[in-house]
Amino acid sequence: MPRGIPRRAVLLGAAAVAATAGPLAATARAAAAESAARAARTPKVLVIGLDGAMIRRIKDADTPHLDALMAAGITAPSSIYSNPMAPTSSGPGWTTLITGVWPDKHKVVDNDFTGHDLARYPDFLTRAETADPALKTYAVASWNPVTDVIFSAKVDQRVSTPSAEYDTGTTRRAVARVATDVDAVFVHLDNVDHAGHGHGSASRQYLDALHAADTQVGEILTAVRSRPTYAGEDWLVMITADHGHTAAGGHGGDSWDERQTFLIATGAGLPAGVTRHDVRMPDVAVSALHHLGVAISPTWNLDGRPVQQPVPDAFDALRGSLRQRVDETGIGTDVLGFTHVAPSGWSVDNSRMGTGGVTEWRGWSFTTDEFWTRAEKGQQRELNVRARNVFAVCDGDEWADKTFTGAFDSTLVSPEFPVTPGASATLTYTTYYRHESPQRAEVLVAYGDAAPVAVKTYTADTPSRVERITLRVPAGATTAQVRFRYTGGNNWYWTIDGVSVTA
């Protein structure tokens, strides 16, 4: 203590500061305590896959255990690809969920697994074992390819349930295993998919199968919570599915119902009762690795990101202001999915844009996968897999479906991003571009008050991917503004999402 300051005065001063801080200080202390307690617990992961399950039908069924998980954590409806990337089948679906990459990387494009690249993109349990061989890992499946092919021999235990035992045997094995020393578990249950094939997702039998699966999920969760060490453990529980089903039954095609999947997740740091629209299939594997403390290397080239760390995106802020259809006829009036109003800081320059055309796609639009793909399915819009939630699109093909004059010429303008004069910066964005001449897509950057200069031009089909462009910032420039200009007519389309400029 400094000389000349009475101890009583110091104590009174500290009390005064604490009183002034009030509820904020208490909240900070509580958060710090929770974080410390969480860090002291042992991380564990349980992933349960319900083959062919649809979140919409789960909400219609008698599923108290899944309902409780949704109330306790996040619920994230999502969608997948279709051909020509891959059909909406179990092989591509489970491989995507388990490896953390889309089919264009893992190369599983059917249920035969011919030509797969699982050596380059292994399952998440294999990556966890590689990072920490002391981890105890376990996978059990009613559909044998999950454990025979997708999960590698590096996993401590891989069990394919005999067909005579089916989901009952899978559940019994899972219950027995989670009661022992284990760190990461994957369980695959198959009967919902069988009900979908046999009776359709609109049937009573499908709802009954969901109820039975829910009961089995409950048995596994009870076994987890009954562990003698449970109080000292931090469990991330994720429930997911590989694809959906048509109302009449079946999958593999490009309908919205067949492309359905979801994630229900509970665990420390995940808010209760929250619906998320930014989650995609590859996030399951990456979230599991993140929870286990495995560092995600950029060299792995994964497509997923941890659900525990949502990434803010300007376009996603528009979800609450999306509108229903105007000219489109193939989209239900209950689907809210487009706006021309740019998010804060962004703008759209339509000064050279033609007139008329389909209202929804007149110039840059902000939309969702459901709205955009339902506008015209079967033209590969379903392959825009790396965009999330709300994204920006120019769609000359759909715009030209109604009488128009002039050309399609629209520019999306970003806010000014801060940059360091004379240094390098990285422009990052997600894109998907389908080309037909004379269509053209340009990315331009303006530094300060200087004229925009092109840094990227698209004149050929470009599959869904994340672009990272190195920018050389001129001396004296402190800001960079990005422009995405699309020109054409009755051609194809271009999507943009997740735009950032970082030093």
Q: Above 50 in pLDDT, residue 20?
A: no
pTM confidence score: 0.91
Cα–Cα distance for residue pair 414/346, rounded to 1 Å: 5
- Render the burial of 129-157: b for 16+ CB within 10 Å, e for the rest: beeeeebbbbbbbbbbbbbebbbbebbbb
pLDDT digits (tens, 9 = 90+) for 177-224: 999 999 999 999 999 999 999 999 999 999 999 999 999 999 999 999
Q: Above 60 in pLDDT, residue 53?
A: yes
Which among 218, 114, 226, 234 is positioned nearest to 180, based on CA atoms?
226
pLDDT of residue 426: 98
Which among 171, 174, 220 is positioned nearest to 191, based on CA atoms?
171
pLDDT of residue 16: 35
Mean pLDDT within 375-383: 95
Cα–Cα distance for residue pair 54/206, rounded to 1 Å: 10
pLDDT of residue 40: 82
Helix (H) or strand (E) holding 57: helix 55-58
Beta strands across the sheet bearing 157-160: 157-160, 137-141, 184-189, 42-50, 233-240, 260-266, 74-79, 274-275
**In this structure, are residues 18 and 205 in contact, taking their beta carbons and an 8 Å threshold?**
no
pLDDT digits (tens, 9 = 90+) for 434-485: 999 999 999 999 999 999 999 999 999 999 999 999 999 999 999 999 999 9
Residue 65 DSSP SS3: helix
Cα–Cα distance for residue pair 55/185, rounded to 1 Å: 22
CA angle 270, 272, 273 (to 5 degrees): 130
3-state secondary structure 66-109: HHHHHHHCEEEEEECCCCCCCCCCHHHHHHHHHHCCCHHHHCCC
Q: Above 80 in pLDDT, residue 18?
A: no
**Which amino acid makes up residue 187?**
V
- Both tokens of 282, joined, read 């590859």
Q: Above 70 in pLDDT, residue 25?
A: no
Q: Is 52 left (phi over 0), alpha (psi -120 to 50) or beta?
A: left
Mean pLDDT within 330-334: 93
DSSP state of 381: G
Residues in the chain: 503
pLDDT of residue 503: 86
Long-range contact set of residues 102-108: C-beta below 8 Å, sequence gap at least 24: 102/281, 102/282, 102/303, 102/385, 102/386, 102/464, 104/463, 104/464, 105/301, 105/303, 108/150
Q: For residue 283, what are the contacts with CB-CB under 8 A and spacing of at least 6?
A: 100, 263, 304, 305, 306, 307
CA-CA-CA-CA torsion for 488, 489, 493, 499, nearest 10 degrees?
A: 50
Range with lowest mean pLDDT among 22-36, 127-141, 166-180, 377-391 = 22-36
pLDDT of residue 34: 54
Q: Above 90 in pLDDT, residue 28?
A: no
Q: pLDDT-derived band of residue 15, with 50, 70 and 90 as boundaries? A: very low
> pLDDT averaged over the chain?
93
DSSP per-residue codes, 11-39: HHHHHHHHHHHHHHHHHHHHHHHHHHHHH
Q: Above 60 in pLDDT, residue 33?
A: no
Range with lowest mean pLDDT among 14-18, 150-154, 350-354 = 14-18
DSSP state of 497: E
